[in-house]
């Protein structure tokens, strides 16, 4: 648990490699106890670390492991969080059909729990999908809806991040249309 918390601290401090090391060491210990809930959480954190480092294939592998453990525990909410990591990782490598498959399932679950930040993230991922399909208007609508939800959740860092992404969508559209 100490290694897990230290790993989270490293990730939040943008020290992904150190965080990943802590998560992997923690996972080795946790496997001995065979606690699926703890394993699911560990795989989820490792997936996030790989995502942050830009290694999307390992993010996908670990998010799948996390999702499998959460499914076996019938933990729909945290399984949906793993689906978001999967969807985002697939989006980053241009696999939008796989991205959308996970978004559809996760959206229904997240709506039940009214998590505005994650609902906003889902909208943004749809915005990325539509942008890559050439549907500028749908893309902008999704980005704006996602940013609005994140503002309501007071997620300032992500509002700024996705606002910049939206500006890039406008710039790209103006240059190539």
Q: Tokens 């959480």 identify what position?
A: 41
Is there a contact between 85 and 47 (Cβ–Cβ < 8 Å)?
Answer: yes
Quote the CA–CA distance of 17 and 23 in Å, as a whole number.
10
- Is 11 a residue whose pLDDT tops 70? yes
What's the token pair of residue 124? 């943004």
* pLDDT surpasses 80 at 62: yes
For residue 32, name the pLDDT band (cuts at 50, 70, 90). low
What global pTM score does this model have? 0.83
CA 97 centroid distance within chain: 16
Helix, strand, coil percentages for the chain (3-state, nearest 5): 85, 0, 15
Winning range, highest mean pLDDT, from 1-10, 129-138, 168-177: 129-138
For range 81-96, the mean pLDDT: 97
pLDDT of residue 36: 78
What's the rounded mean pLDDT across residues 145-173?
A: 96
Note the pLDDT of residue 5. 66
The SS3 call for residue 13 is: coil
Q: Are 3 and 26 in contact (CB under 8 A)?
A: yes
Backbone φ and ψ for 124, nearest 5 degrees, come out as -65, -40
How confident is the model at residue 29, as a pLDDT?
67
- Cβ proximity of 3 and 29 under 8 Å: yes
Q: With residue 72 as reference, give the H or E element that holds it.
A: helix 56-72
The 3-state DSSP class for residue 177 equals: coil
Q: What is the pLDDT of residue 118?
A: 97
Average pLDDT over residues 108-119: 95
Q: Does the pLDDT value for residue 55 go beyond 80?
A: yes
Contact of 142 with 120, CB cutoff 8 Å: no
| Sign, Cα dihedral of 43, 44, 48, 51 | positive
Dist. CA 52–CA 153, nearest whole Å: 22
Separation between Cα atoms, residue 43 and residue 101, nearest integer Å = 21
């Amino acid at each position: 648990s100490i290694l897990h918390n230290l790993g989270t601290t490293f990730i939040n401090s943008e020290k992904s490699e150190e965080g990943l090391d802590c998560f992997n060491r923690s996972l080795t210990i946790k496997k001995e106890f065979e606690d699926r809930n703890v394993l699911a959480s560990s795989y989820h954190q490792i997936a996030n670390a790989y995502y942050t480092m830009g290694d999307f294939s390992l993010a996908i592998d670990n998010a799948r492991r996390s999702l499998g453990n959460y499914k076996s525990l019938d933990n729909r909410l945290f399984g949906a969080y793993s689906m978001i990591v999967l969807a985002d990782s697939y989006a980053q490598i241009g696999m939008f059909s796989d991205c959308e498959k996970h978004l559809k399932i996760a959206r229904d679950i997240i709506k039940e729990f009214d998590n505005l930040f994650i609902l906003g993230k889902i909208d943004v991922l749809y915005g990325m999908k539509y942008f890559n399909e050439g549907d500028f208007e749908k893309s902008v609508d999704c980005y704006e809806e996602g940013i609005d939800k994140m503002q309501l959740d007071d997620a300032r860092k992500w509002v700024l991040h996705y606002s910049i992404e939206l500006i890039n969508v406008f710039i790209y559209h103006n240059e190539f249309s």
